[in-house]
């Protein structure tokens, strides 16, 4: 029966499986071209992978005339991935099949300030709940992963010097999650996950900057179609110093970081001081939509500051697109003032074909990205 097969699959079979999983090939002919193996040898191995329940062949692929090729993809019954995206006050959790399709996504309240042990153990229990309620019988869990709203060392899966996450510094998140599930574990910065998920919706764009504007500010960078992690903190623009008339000390201890002016947390704290009660970034968006001038002015200023930081990066990296996601992103003045700053200050050659737009993948972008990166880990 399907689902009992060992992963990863080694050798040429494994190479073919990874080409299908990554979306590079969906027919035997494409597999032969990309792998350099003879067509007969590809066919034999594909039959074996279908026989062992890891691949399925279905429907019609893109026809180039003549007989229609059938389409290969990972079998939905070959396994499940449990993924989460942790926020300050809630967690978004999902079960995906190995083709990256969500079976179920739900949001649960979760206070990240309760500390890493309680948060991660709660996440593991929530994964178990989802599996027993929605996991098809006989389909094994193949990996677990989570996004963290702070910097993550990719080598160790530890959180390093995060803002507004008391008790999390240097905590071995991957180890703690791995203690609940003896499976491949992915722990990744949330903006990186959002970028990896968004990249699936921008197949023609090689270089993307994906901004996450929520309680904090993050940015994930896609270069040549792949996530650029650097040493783990690539894309972290939250502590770039910005120009300002006043002076605000950031949670990192320095003055005038972008995050201290333009993050959802910063906007909420100013509004609360002004006697306008807000609890979540979505409340700020609602105030803007209701035409509350204090909120609109703050969001517009945040967009200008973010745009000024992005200006430097756009000139430097020349991305094909800047994608703005996160819970503040529906506030129209945010993206409008990011656009204004970038188009005004960047080199004409850098902005000629630059697209600046809101997310195409929507609120599940980080979960989809977690699925895609975790699948790499499962098959690697």
Give the residue with the Cβ less far from Zn ion, 257 or 298: 257
Give the residue with the Cβ less far from Zn ion, 250 or 266: 250
Give the residue with the Cβ less far from Zn ion, 135 or 151: 151
Give the nearest distance from C-beta 257 to Zn ion in angstroms.
Answer: 3
Nearest-5° angle of CA 310, CA 316, CA 320?
A: 75
Give the residue with the Cβ less far from Zn ion, 13 or 251: 251
H/E stretch holding 226: strand 226-227
Q: How far is residue 34 from each of residues 16, 225, 235, 251, measured CA to CA in Å?
A: 9, 17, 32, 49
Give the residue with the Cβ less far from Zn ion, 29 or 252: 252
Give the nearest distance from C-beta 149 to Zn ion in angstroms.
Answer: 15
Residues 184-243 that bind Zn ion (CB under 5 A): 239
Give the nearest distance from C-beta 252 to Zn ion in angstroms.
Answer: 3
Give the nearest distance from C-beta 258 to Zn ion in angstroms.
Answer: 8
Report the residue from 252, 270, 286, 292 that binds Zn ion according to the rule CB under 5 A. 252
Give the nearest distance from C-beta 161 to Zn ion in angstroms.
Answer: 10
Alpha helix ranges (H) inside the chain: 11-21, 28-35, 39-51, 116-134, 173-180, 190-199, 258-262, 264-273, 281-289, 293-317, 332-345, 348-351, 365-379
Report the residue from 193, 209, 257, 295 that binds Zn ion according to the rule CB under 5 A. 257
Alpha helix ranges (H) inside 26-98: 28-35, 39-51
Torsion of CA 12, 15, 17, 23, to 10 degrees: -150
Give the residue with the Cβ less far from Zn ion, 54 or 302: 302
Give the nearest distance from C-beta 240 to Zn ion in angstroms.
Answer: 9
Q: Binders of Zn ion: how many residues, by CB under 5 A? A: 5
- Residues 6 or more apart in contact with residue 229 via CB below 8 angstroms: 154, 192
- Among the listed ranges 123-131, 257-265, 273-281, 319-327, the one in contact with Zn ion (CB under 5 A) is 257-265
Distance (Å, whole) CA 344 – CA 351: 9
Mapped onto helix, strand or coil, the DSSP state of residue 285 is: helix
H/E stretch holding 109: strand 102-109
Give the nearest distance from C-beta 239 to Zn ion in angstroms.
Answer: 4
- Among the listed ranges 256-264, 300-308, 312-320, 331-339, the one in contact with Zn ion (CB under 5 A) is 256-264
Give the residue with the Cβ less far from Zn ion, 240 or 338: 240
Distance (Å, whole) CA 224 – CA 180: 35
Binding region for Zn ion (CB under 5 A): 239, 250, 252, 254, 257
């Amino acid at each position: 029966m399907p689902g009992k097969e060992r992963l990863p699959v080694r050798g040429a079979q494994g190479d073919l499986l990874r080409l299908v999983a990554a979306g590079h090939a969906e027919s035997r002919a494409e597999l032969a071209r990309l792998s350099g193996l003879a067509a007969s040898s590809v066919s034999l191995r594909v039959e074996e992978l279908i026989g062992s329940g890891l691949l399925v062949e279905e429907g019609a692929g893109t026809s180039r005339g003549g007989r229609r090729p059938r389409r290969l993809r990972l079998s939905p019954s070959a396994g499940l991935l449990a993924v989460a995206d942790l926020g300050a006050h809630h967690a978004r959790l999902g079960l995906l099949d190995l083709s990256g399709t969500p079976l179920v996504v739900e949001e649960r309240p979760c206070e990240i300030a309760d500390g890493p042990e309680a948060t991660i153990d709660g996440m593991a229990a929530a994964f178990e709940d989802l599996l027993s309620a929605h996991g098809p019988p006989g389909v094994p869990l193949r990996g677990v992963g989570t996004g963290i709203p702070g910097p993550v060392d990719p080598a160790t899966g530890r959180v390093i010097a995060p803002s507004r996450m008391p008790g999390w510094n240097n905590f071995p998140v991957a180890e703690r999650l791995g203690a609940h599930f003896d499976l491949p574990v992915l722990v990744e910065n949330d903006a990186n996950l959002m970028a990896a998920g968004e990249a699936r919706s921008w197949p023609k764009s090689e270089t993307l900057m994906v901004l996450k504007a929520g309680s904090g500010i993050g940015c994930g960078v896609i270069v040549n179609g792949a996530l650029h992690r650097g040493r783990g903190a690539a894309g972290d623009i939250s502590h770039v110093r910005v120009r300002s008339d006043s002076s605000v000390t950031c949670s990192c201890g320095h003055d005038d970081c972008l995050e201290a002016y333009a993050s959802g947390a910063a906007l909420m704290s100013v509004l609360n001081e002004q006697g306008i009660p807000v609890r979540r970034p979505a409340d700020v968006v609602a105030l803007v939509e209701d035409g509350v001038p204090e909120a609109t002015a703050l969001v517009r200023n945040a967009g200008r500051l973010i745009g000024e930081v992005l200006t430097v990066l756009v000139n430097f990296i020349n991305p094909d697109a800047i994608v703005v996601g996160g819970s503040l992103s529906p506030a129209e003045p945010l993206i409008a003032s990011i656009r204004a700053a970038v188009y005004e200050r960047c080199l004409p050659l850098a902005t000629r074909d630059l697209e600046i737009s809101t997310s195409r993948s929507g609120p599940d972008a980080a979960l989809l990205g977690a699925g895609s990166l975790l699948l790499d880990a499962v098959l690697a």
